[in-house]
Amino acid sequence: MPVDALDTRILRLLLEQPRTSVREYARILGVARGTLQARLDRLEREGVITGTAPALSPAALGHPVLAFVHIEVTQGHLDEVGDALAAVPEIVEAFSITGGGDLLARVVARDNAHLEDVVQKLISMPGVVRTRTEVALRERVSHRMLPLVESIGRSARG
């Protein structure tokens, strides 16, 4: 079932007021609590809502350096290298990609020396051919979903 106008109102509210109760969401939206809960359950079941964990700041946790590491992998070893990446705590995300490299990892570090240590750990993994690291200087657009939800909401109404 596609996301409709009520779903987009619910998602917007979840993004804008993540610590509000289901009862309060229902009151704000003017729907029954049971209706709201059924919608939330469906959105979770369909994978639209993927979690409720708080967003954490790596910088506030002592890891202000952000880098993107492109990783070239020996053919046939993508799964093994991907599994090995999951064991490195400084890797906060990793994706299979097209283009220059096979994997792209988002890496956080305490400082540049720590970043070098993490990259050296990646280079030493079996199946890794080479890496290319790009250090982020400043975040220009924070991770966000609200503009997308609003766009989908406009489409659902129109």
62: left (phi over 0), alpha (psi -120 to 50) or beta: left
**Residue 13 near residue 25 (C-beta atoms within 8 A):** yes
Q: Which helix (H) or strand (E) holds 148?
A: helix 146-157
Encoded tokens for 100 = 């220059």
pLDDT in tens, 78-116: 999 999 999 999 999 999 999 988 999 999 999 999 999
User: Average pLDDT, stretch 120-126?
Assistant: 98
Rounded to whole angstroms, the Cα distance separating 147 from 6 reads 16
The SS3 assignment for 87 reads coil
Q: Which residues contact 109 (CB under 8 A, 6 or more apart)?
A: 63, 65, 67, 90, 115, 117, 118
User: What is the total residue count of the chain?
Assistant: 158
Secondary structure class of 68 (helix, strand, coil): strand
Q: State the pLDDT at residue 40.
A: 96
* ∠ CA 107-56-66, rounded to 5°: 25
The encoded tokens of residue 109 equal 């570090």
65-73 and 91-96 strand pairing: unpaired
DSSP 8-state secondary structure symbol assigned to residue 99? S
Structure tokens at 21: 């109760």
52 or 93: which carries more pLDDT confidence?
A: 93
pTM over 0.75: yes
Tell me: pLDDT of 57 over 70: yes
